[in-house]
Amino acid sequence: MEKAALRERLQSLTSVSNVFPTARSHVRQRRELGAVAEAVESLDYRLLDELSAADARNVLSREVAVAGSAFPVLLDLPDAQEQLAGFARAGFNFFYADPSYESDSLEIRRARGGNGAVTRVLSADGRIALETRRLVVALVADVDDEAARLFFGRNNLVPIRRFQFGAPTWHVIADGGLATDVSLQLLDLDEVRYAEPDFIEHVNQRATQPSDPLVAQQWHLEVLGLPVVWPTHAGGEVRIAVVDNGFMVGHPDLDPDAASSGWFRSSPDGDDSLFIHGLDLMPDGDHGTACAGMAAARSNDTGGVGVAFDASLSLVACLPDQVGTQSTLARALAYAAEPTTEGVAAPGADVVACSLGPNEATWKMSNVLSDAIDFIAERGRSGQGTPLFWACTNGNFPISADEVCSHPKVISVGRSTADDSDDGSGFGPELAFLAPGVDVLIPSSDGAYSVTTGTSFACPCAAGVAALIVQQNRHMSATEVRDHMLGACDKIGDVPYVDGRNDTFGHGRLNAASALGVPQ
């Protein structure tokens, strides 16, 4: 997120006056909180007030004047009900305190049965955030550990740990003020890439296990470890763009976003294209439908699901008869990452997948296509870079002869089988990794599902996994997402991996569970 956008978000937070949480304890030790959660869900204000206030008075010492339960006030906040029930089940009770309580230090609050971590209860845009003294601070890339130590000292920050995300990012404690205020001050400094409070929030299990009837036949989902990932990450609030020749936009398992989708209508001679915003009259295409469905087919009790079934989906169609110019392809890719390039004010994609290209060994790249790839990888996502996945050749050729998949900013994906063999797609040092792409069951343009094979489908499979990673950590740059994926591959095949890679398997077969740090 851009500094300006982050600053705006932090400035929009407002403190909920005189409302504080009690000390947190496991709900099994305070059975009242389970009943509080149920009262929140049923909006039984009388019972809620009674149970919550009784619990607060029971937990807090006599020095704290409890004016009553704060749940009724918090329930007035937008979209608060589900969050508050979640907080209660997680062991948080909220009470109305005497104004003097706010001036007590966290240590005194803790000693009196209050919460010794939460400084304030904040809210904005329908989210309730419990502010602590902790922040996450990312410094610019050329700051080494010693310089970081000096920086933290100067700014009254105590580092707790350095995150292993690639960029220099630390978990720190703010010694000199409220975390939100300190973050805003840090955002003004050139050394800081971003700084934001590490709020305690209720993160709902939006996605659990899909009940779509064909999921059991989609072997690739199990191989990637997705069943253990989906309970927390299914791509929510992340946007995937698929660039292809055409799509069945009305497929029952696709739910594309018209505002960010568009297509390039070829001129009669196929040597130029006119951009058309939206999904109306977009060309159909089995290949594109399959790619889009692999990445983001919905969980809706119909058909199967995509890797990131909660992700937003942008469809970008070009070269409908597979004959056209690379400048049109370049425009389509740039549009996917940044719609303003075609004059459209819509959000750009967090992840882009493209599975177009010849299957012979050689593909020469024009300068404008190379510039488009650079643009996506460097300027997408407000400067963080948008990961761009590309299907390598299906032929058993060296990828080095394909100048597009050899572009250093392209993440080149080969296909793997259900039994984790390589299946003979492109090879060489340019291969990032393999992903499932042989006999995979994915959407087709007849509105149903079909079994199909190709690197074309391994590519959006990888893009779907990238969407889950971005959902977990929105601050990762395109390079960090790629490196994270490379480091999370399973070393399949009975072959040696030198420095973590092998020319036939790349870094191995992608593993979503490993990439998201979820035990399998």
Partner 1 sequence: MTPVDDVAAVPPSLVGEIDDEPTVEPAGSEEFRASGWRFIRGDADRSGLRAVFRDRAGHLSIEGATVVVRFDDDAGDQQIDEVLRRHHLAVRRPMRFVPKGFQVVFEGRPAKGQLMRISEELEKLDCVRYADPDFVEEIGQR
**Residues within the interface to partner 1 (CB under 8 A):** 244-245, 267-272, 287, 319, 321-327, 329-331, 334, 338, 340-342, 355-362, 364, 366-368, 371-372, 375, 379, 391-394, 401, 454-456, 459
Q: How far is the CB of 2 from partner 1 (least distance, A)?
A: 18
Distance of CA 99 to the CA centre of its chain: 40
Spatial separation of the C-alpha atoms in residues 5 and 27, rounded to whole Å = 37
Q: How far is the CB of 382 from partner 1 (least distance, A)?
A: 15
Please identify, using beta-carbon distances, which residue of 183 and 394 lies nearer to partner 1.
Answer: 394
Please identify, using beta-carbon distances, which residue of 21 and 285 lies nearer to partner 1.
Answer: 285
Task: Give residue 417's identity as a one-letter amino acid code.
Answer: T
Q: How far is the CB of 419 from partner 1 (least distance, A)?
A: 22
Q: How far is the CB of 495 from partner 1 (least distance, A)?
A: 24
Please identify, using beta-carbon distances, which residue of 158 and 361 lies nearer to partner 1.
Answer: 361
Q: How far is the CB of 359 from partner 1 (least distance, A)?
A: 6
Q: How far is the CB of 295 from partner 1 (least distance, A)?
A: 15
Task: Give residue 122's identity as a one-letter amino acid code.
Answer: L
Please identify, using beta-carbon distances, which residue of 104 and 423 lies nearer to partner 1.
Answer: 423
Quick one: DSSP state of residue 146? H
Spatial separation of the C-alpha atoms in residues 414 and 477, rounded to whole Å = 23
Please identify, using beta-carbon distances, which residue of 237 and 360 lies nearer to partner 1.
Answer: 360
Phi, psi for residue 54 in degrees, rounded to 5: -65, -40
3-state secondary structure 188-212: CCCCEEEEEECCECCCCCCCCCCCC
Please identify, using beta-carbon distances, which residue of 308 and 458 lies nearer to partner 1.
Answer: 458
Beta bridge partners of residue 266, listed in sequence order: 273
- Kindly write down the DSSP assignment for every residue of 395-435, as one continuous string: SS-BGGGBTTTTSTTEEEEEEE-TTS--TT--BSTTEEEEE
Q: How far is the CB of 335 from partner 1 (least distance, A)?
A: 9
Q: Are strands 262-266 and 273-277 parallel, antiparallel or unpaired?
A: antiparallel
Q: How far is the CB of 320 from partner 1 (least distance, A)?
A: 10
3-state secondary structure 21-64: EECCCCCCCCHHHHHHHHHHHHCCHHHHHHHHHHHHHHHCCCCC
Task: Give residue 89's identity as a one-letter amino acid code.
Answer: R
Distance of CA 166 to CAs 142, 196, 472, Å? 12, 18, 15
**How buried is residue 146: exposed, middle or buried, by Cβ count under 10 Å (0-12/13-18/19+)?**
exposed
**Contact between residue 47 and residue 39 where contact means Cβ atoms under 8 Å apart:** yes
Distance of CA 16 to the CA centre of its chain: 29
How big is the chain, counted in residues?
Answer: 520
Q: How far is the CB of 314 from partner 1 (least distance, A)?
A: 16
Q: How far is the CB of 287 from partner 1 (least distance, A)?
A: 5
Q: How far is the CB of 288 from partner 1 (least distance, A)?
A: 9
**Contact between residue 332 and residue 448 where contact means Cβ atoms under 8 Å apart:** no
Please identify, using beta-carbon distances, which residue of 9 and 379 lies nearer to partner 1.
Answer: 379
Please identify, using beta-carbon distances, which residue of 139 and 356 lies nearer to partner 1.
Answer: 356
Please identify, using beta-carbon distances, which residue of 92 and 275 lies nearer to partner 1.
Answer: 275
Phi, psi for residue 7 in degrees, rounded to 5: -60, -45
Please identify, using beta-carbon distances, which residue of 155 and 325 lies nearer to partner 1.
Answer: 325
Please identify, using beta-carbon distances, which residue of 64 and 337 lies nearer to partner 1.
Answer: 337
Please identify, using beta-carbon distances, which residue of 282 and 319 lies nearer to partner 1.
Answer: 319
Distance of CA 216 to the CA centre of its chain: 25
Query: Which 3 state secondary structure label does DSSP give 65?
Result: coil
Please identify, using beta-carbon distances, which residue of 132 and 245 lies nearer to partner 1.
Answer: 245
The sign of the dihedral angle between the CA atoms of 225, 227, 228, 231 is positive
Contacts of 274 (CB under 8 A, 6+ apart): 264, 265, 267
Q: How far is the CB of 512 from partner 1 (least distance, A)?
A: 22
Query: Which 3 state secondary structure label does DSSP give 450?
Result: strand
Spatial separation of the C-alpha atoms in residues 310 and 313, rounded to whole Å = 9
Query: Which 3 state secondary structure label does DSSP give 248?
Result: coil
Please identify, using beta-carbon distances, which residue of 65 and 274 lies nearer to partner 1.
Answer: 274
Q: How far is the CB of 396 from partner 1 (least distance, A)?
A: 13
What tokens were used for 198? 């590490």
Q: How far is the CB of 211 from partner 1 (least distance, A)?
A: 32
Distance of CA 123 to CAs 77, 126, 128, Å? 8, 7, 5
